[in-house]
A = this chain, B = another copy of it.
Amino acid sequence: MNDGSTNLHAVILAGGSGTRFWPASRTDRPKQLLPLAQGRTLLEATIDRVRGLVREDRVWVVTNPAQLANLRACIPEFPANRILVEPEPRDTAACVALAIAHLEAADPGAVIAVLPADHVIEPAERFRELLDRGAQLAREGRMLVTFGIRPTRPATSFGYIEPGDLLRGGTGARSVVRFREKPDLETARQYVASGRFLWNSGIFVWTAASLLDAMAVGNAELEQRARDMMDAVRRGDRPTADAIFRRMPKTSIDYAVMERAPRVAVLEADVAWSDLGSFLALGSVVTPDPEGNVCVLAGGAGATLVGSENCIVYAEGPRTVALLGTHDLVCVLVHDAVLVCPRDRADDLKRLVQKLREQKRDDLL
């Protein structure tokens, strides 16, 4: 481990939102701010995960105005000057451009790891080894480094990466034949059956220079605005930087850059990984009881289960979930709401949230 010896920075993307953990997650309190990681939030777990590899003053967090207050409450000791706030949601390309502008101003030539704040990755030590290798590739090989996860099922919610030949240098990284957008189920099955594809984890390592080069190939407008923003940030001209951000192309870093970039490497990350796509995934962070029930309890919450099997319980605060004779249910209890649905309907949560929107229950969203 090279603590501080490489100029590696970690940018944690914490501005994402979603409804798949409703009613626990809200507009101002997304999944990454929920205590889903053994009593810690996913954001805290992500910060802890790079400790020892990335120097403490080289960790950055990106969020948005709606979530800022809850994020700061979650990591009260984290310095405000390393919390970057997107003026508005503009997808990942703009978000990454904002981050490299600030990092280049603070530490020119930095190697930058981009990490989503809402993933579970174990063991952390193995992950740091991989990230360290990625940093070496990014710095010395001037590659855009991605991390691929060996698929365990034909997921349609992830992009896939088709790795090519092993690169020289003994890092274990491979070239990338191509990126694949989120496939349909049939295609996903073929990918998994072939054994040739990896999930795109959304974790990247690069330098600003390499990234800008790749932007120039993939999306010239994006590159130009990113450079303009770097100038504005370097000058300390916040209003101009914000204005540029708001004119950034609204696109993902995968689509705008990675899929078209010439110098991309993929490291297969042999770690247990989950993006916690729904409550069903809690089974991967907590050991089920002998009846197959998974209980994630935070803030003094309790669960009393009688004659119940294969249920998933999430509860916060001094509240108790009591299940009697239930099976294959999801039950989520927070201060102002409870959700109950069968496990096999958890993916339909969007429909429920849509209904709440129609009912003008913005207080619950």
Contacts and interface: CB of A to CB of B under 8 A. Distances in A.
A89 to B, nearest CB: 25
A322 B359 contact: no
Contacts of A302: 361
B321 A351 contact: no
A261 interface: no
Copies in the assembly, this chain: 2
B325 A329 contact: no
Nearest to A311: B340
A221 to B, nearest CB: 42
A88 B268 CA distance: 71
A140 B323 CA distance: 54
Contacts of A355: 304, 306
Contacts of A340: 321-324, 326, 329, 331, 340
Interface stretch (A129-137, A188-196, A341-349): A341-349
A307 interface: yes
Given A329-B340, A340-B329, A340-B340, A345 B361 contact: no
Interface of A: 23, 302, 304, 306-307, 318-326, 329, 331, 333, 335-342, 345, 348-349, 351-352, 355-356, 359, 361, 364
9 contacts: A318-B336, A319-B338, A320-B336, A320-B337, A320-B338, A321-B337, A322-B356, A326-B329, A333-B338
